[in-house]
Chains A and B, each alone.
Chain A
Amino acid sequence: MYVGQPIRRREDVRFLTGRGLFVDDVQMTQPIAHAAFLRSPHAHAKIRSIKTERARGLPGVLTVLTGADWVRQGHGEADGVWPVNDRSGKPARTVNRPFICVDNVVRCVGEIVAMVVAEDRHQALDACEAIEVDYEPLPANVVTAKALDAGTPLVHPKFGTNEVLETYHGNKAVVDEAFKKAHHITKLEVPTNRVTASPIEPRAYMGHYDPLNDRYTVWTTHQAPHIVRQYFTRSLHIPEHKLRVVAPDVGGGFGMKLYHYPEEPLVLWGAIETERPVKWTGTRSECLMGDTHARDHYTVGEMAFDKGGKILAMRFKTLAAFGAYESQWQASITNAYHFTMLSLAYDIPGIFTQVKGVYTNCTPVDAYRGAGRPETVYQVERLIENGAKEMGIDPFELRQKNAIPPEKIPYTTAIGITYDSGDPPELFRKMKKLCNYEALREEQKKLRAQGICMGIGICGFFDMAGAGPVKMMNDLGAKIGCYDVASVRVHPSGKITVFAGSHSHGQSHATTWTQIAADRLGIPIEDIELVEGDTDRVPFGIGTWGSRSLSTAGVAVAVAAGRVIEKAKKLAAHMLECAPSDLVIENGQFIVKGTDKKIAFAEVSNAAYHSGDRPKGLEIGLEETAFYDPTDCTYPSAVHLCVVIVDPETGHVKLRNYWSVDDVGRVINPMVFEGQVHGGCTQGIGQALMEECAYDPSSGQYLSGTFMDYAIPHATDIPMFGVESHVTLTPSNPLGAKGGGESGTIAAPACISNGVIDALYHFGIRQITQPMTPKKIWRAIQDAKAGR
């Protein structure tokens, strides 16, 4: 059995020796031209004029294009894959993110105003500087909490408001009643900070047009190449059969590389115009500014408890920033992934939430690892933590008291989502033992007496992963079908190529998908290779996002492999003169049960392609494709706990310990799973302690445009993780797998925030917003000491 083994990553040899093939590495026989983009330096401005003559005359310049050219040529838009849905009955106020400014108003810093294509990058940049744009700056609105206040500048004045949509969910009557009879109510502002994924590989695209065959090719840093093909039917009106999309090795996506970014159609447009391959590789600054940002919710919440600490109800009001425009998947957060999971790991009878999407003059917001659930867990867990403290109940105990008992699972939350499997009390019990909770509390007391501020942070949650099923996701607003696809092609020699519609940009599919296939086919893993990321080779696919690939594409691999074996058994039985049901597969052999009669898999596969002697009606060949639509989403769950030491003199937080107990269902490769938890937690630590896409509130200028100002965790900031599992299988797919890609980003921000507040509660500090940077913590301590 390969499944369940910590097999070393088969893709690591090329990555660790610097021989991966990323978009920027792709070479062409024709010389590659380079695109550069002139971007708005203003958060909001009218463009009076654009003069490109001087730029056109510079050495090496092949073309200079603006929004006027885009409009004149009749090109299109990037419309929503997951468009907004307003429940209040008002029309949704959608403005899609433009590829290039087409209406002479720029609405965020970094919006593309013109594109230069030149022989080399430096010439293209020189030409960008030679374009003269006359801007008339307009007042900007970059503060989410104030987006709907009277007098706030409007991003799209035609709507008369910055509100994009309003949505609400839950059982309001139950909630209102519960608050009336509550013993204790905790109220808190719980905003989440605007962050961005910052993958190691910046976005990059190359476009090519072959006029002889009327064929287009796009190489792209993307998580879902078949979806890119669909995007191009709307942007450049290229039909899918004419376009090949290749997403080769991609250095991290985290949801952020799922969209039809402006530069993607623009490089292909440039290629069509110049009849040259045209490439753009983003600089770190372009990416920190132009990659979709994430989170940025302003939320106020209240939680009602009974005397014993049982949570009766909670209610929230959220302003969810969209940025200046709607990005293609934005509403997957507001309309699907945020409100749905509010019950976390707890049995809470009453939940009500109202969310208003708002426009601000900032980079568009879209999904980033966790997409909506980090916000959810943060807003609920902060209230639980403070509620427990205010009531004088141990916060671990209060959570255990409210954890959904296994006998109530399947459990339907007050929001209406049904958790199909899991055992939260067991996760808490395991965690208590793992971290030695009582000893930690003792240590905390001892250290506090010495003036050392130690804090313990806790959180528990359920995630919604594994999208689809198609119908459920359609009902939550998805315009694409959320299933996935795999083909298993057995070559005559018995070696196998697996094609999958998922895309690995760090997830290790070359290892884990072949582990699944090898077990199903009963052949060595070395005989199997995986192909992903090329629309000309892979039949179809929805791509990798939302911790979904294992329970969709991974299951499709298992299903297709199962069909291959079913067919191969018919042929093998014919060759061995037995019934297919008499056969078992072991080590690449079909064996007649209870006998020494056997035949090698490779002999059967050879016969499948080359033998005329086969059972009647059995088609030649040995290749199967599965389009797999699961019966439900998956619901991974987890409890995380951390220990922080806060330095009150400087405000610095040292994260001393971090433990997790995750239930992600079947684990294919424990090493890969642990890596997912480590990586996710690290990004969550960043969100909690340092990451922030910051804008100057008055000018709207973007302040975190380089890694000199946008802080991401260094290895030295990260503790050794203690990763544990408690497995319950999901009944929604035959592998029983739930997915574990997002647990860390979902849990860590809440967990660490609770830890920091726990460390500083005795100063009278009740809340510090994220990121909890040293200066903010120091200021909070000063304010608390001064009684402010």
Chain B
Amino acid sequence: MYAFNYHRPASVAEAVKILKASSDGRCLAGGMSLIPTMKHRLSSSSDLIDLNGIKELSYIRREGDQLVIGALARHVEIADSAEVKKSIPALAALAGGVGDPQVRNRGTFCGSLCFADPAADCPAGLVGLNGTVITDKRRIAADQFFEGLYETALEKGEIVTGVSFPIPEKAGWAKFANLASRYAIVAVMVAKTGGTARVAVTGAKASVFRVAEMEAALAKNFSAAALDGIKVSSAGMNGDLHGDPDYRANLVSVMAKRAVQAS
């Protein structure tokens, strides 16, 4: 780990101020991705702004037709939340399968979105459920949030304060975990709202993506059988020790069906 300045602001306004004043600052929520990369000296920041002192960011609540989750809500809280289980059980399932118990006790949904790891579960949750990222100054639609490998639409000095989700009629989550990291080799969130369907895939490419052909099929008939024969191309898919592009392409089809079955 390289040396850095540590801050623990008590409000979002104060956090934004410190972040803007820093030369290369980063926010810390659960730290389950950031701290390991810092320990490996793979990332360094001039300033670490610890959001854990901002109590108002710890919440999960229903606001009208939206489920809203604060930036400090831990995976375990989302997984165990009666409100989440009632509104969007697939989201509770996703949160309950992130990493391991230690990671879930500390890590946050919003922190994972900001980190934008290509194999993280949460990005598929955001995109598949058509959520909206709430920052200190604006709202960003799911489809506009991720811009590539570890890249998001967040501007310098902008802090995510929460995320909101419309309540789908049905949603399902299926993940095939890497045996080592328990990140997704491929995981899929599917959701049905009215006559539309969304299929969001993580782990397979540099960033989360939607599968239009599957969405069209599911919009007509929201069943696993509707996905029969729909293959995705392995072009552009990740290849590593744990899966080559062909294997990942296969898993997209398999996991999409299983997500529908789970919905």
Seen from chain A, the residues whose Cβ lies within 8 Å of a Cβ on chain B are 122, 125-126, 129, 283, 285, 649-652, 689-690, 692, 694, 703-704, 706-712, 714, 717, 773-775, 778-779
With A775-B242, A775-B244 known to touch, is A125 a contact of B41 (CB < 8 Å)? yes
- 9-residue interface stretch from B74-82, B85-93, B173-181, B228-236: B173-181
Q: With a CB–CB cut-off of 8 A, which chain A residues contact B244?
A: 775
- Chain B: residues with Cβ within 8 Å of the partner, total of 23
B247-A775 in contact (CB<8A): yes
B176-A703 in contact (CB<8A): no
B3-A708 in contact (CB<8A): no
Query: Of the candidates A122, A652, A775, A778, which one forms a contact with B1 in the assembled complex, judged by CB atoms under 8 Å apart?
Result: A122
Chain B, residue nearest A686 (CB): B179
B243-A711 in contact (CB<8A): no
28 inter-chain pairs at a CB distance below 8 angstroms, sorted by A residue, are: A122-B2, A125-B41, A126-B2, A283-B39, A285-B40, A649-B250, A649-B254, A650-B176, A650-B251, A651-B247, A652-B176, A689-B179, A690-B179, A690-B180, A692-B241, A706-B40, A708-B180, A708-B181, A708-B183, A709-B181, A711-B178, A712-B180, A774-B176, A774-B179, A774-B247, A775-B244, A778-B247, A779-B247
Seen from chain B, the residues whose Cβ lies within 8 Å of a Cβ on chain A are 1-3, 39-41, 100, 176, 178-183, 185, 241-244, 247, 250-251, 254
Q: List the 6 closest pairs (A to B, CB-CB), nearest first.
A: A711-B180, A711-B179, A708-B181, A690-B179, A775-B247, A649-B254
State A703–B240 Cα separation when bound (angstroms): 9
Q: With a CB–CB cut-off of 8 A, which chain B residues contact A694?
A: 241
Q: How far is the CB of A719 from chain B (nearest CB, A)?
A: 16
B243-A775 in contact (CB<8A): yes
Q: With a CB–CB cut-off of 8 A, which chain A residues contact B180?
A: 690, 707-712
Q: How far is the CB of A286 from chain B (nearest CB, A)?
A: 11
Q: With a CB–CB cut-off of 8 A, which chain A residues contact B41?
A: 125, 129
Q: With a CB–CB cut-off of 8 A, which chain B residues contact A649?
A: 250, 254
State A689–B254 Cα separation when bound (angstroms): 21
Q: With a CB–CB cut-off of 8 A, which chain B residues contact A773?
A: 179, 242
Q: With a CB–CB cut-off of 8 A, which chain A residues contact B39?
A: 283
Q: With a CB–CB cut-off of 8 A, which chain B residues contact A122?
A: 1-3
Q: With a CB–CB cut-off of 8 A, which chain A residues contact B250?
A: 649, 778
Other 12 A-B pairs with CB < 8 A, given A689-B179, A774-B185: A122-B2, A126-B2, A283-B39, A649-B254, A650-B254, A652-B176, A707-B180, A708-B178, A710-B180, A773-B242, A774-B176, A778-B250
Query: Of the candidates B179, B241, B247, which one forms a contact with A703 in the assembled complex, judged by CB atoms under 8 Å apart?
Result: B241
With A125-B41, A775-B242, A775-B243 known to touch, is A714 a contact of B254 (CB < 8 Å)? no
State A490–B251 Cα separation when bound (angstroms): 66
State A739–B211 Cα separation when bound (angstroms): 57
Chain A, residue nearest B181 (CB): A708
State A752–B107 Cα separation when bound (angstroms): 35
Chain B, residue nearest A694 (CB): B241
Chain B CB count within 10 A is highest, among A651, A714, A774, for: A774
Q: How far is the CB of B198 from chain A (nearest CB, A)?
A: 23
Chain A CB count within 10 A is highest, among B3, B40, B241, B250, for: B241
State A778–B247 Cα separation when bound (angstroms): 8
State A712–B3 Cα separation when bound (angstroms): 32
State A563–B108 Cα separation when bound (angstroms): 64
Chain B CB count within 10 A is highest, among A283, A712, A775, for: A775
Q: With a CB–CB cut-off of 8 A, which chain A residues contact B178?
A: 708, 711
State A704–B100 Cα separation when bound (angstroms): 20
Chain A, residue nearest B186 (CB): A650
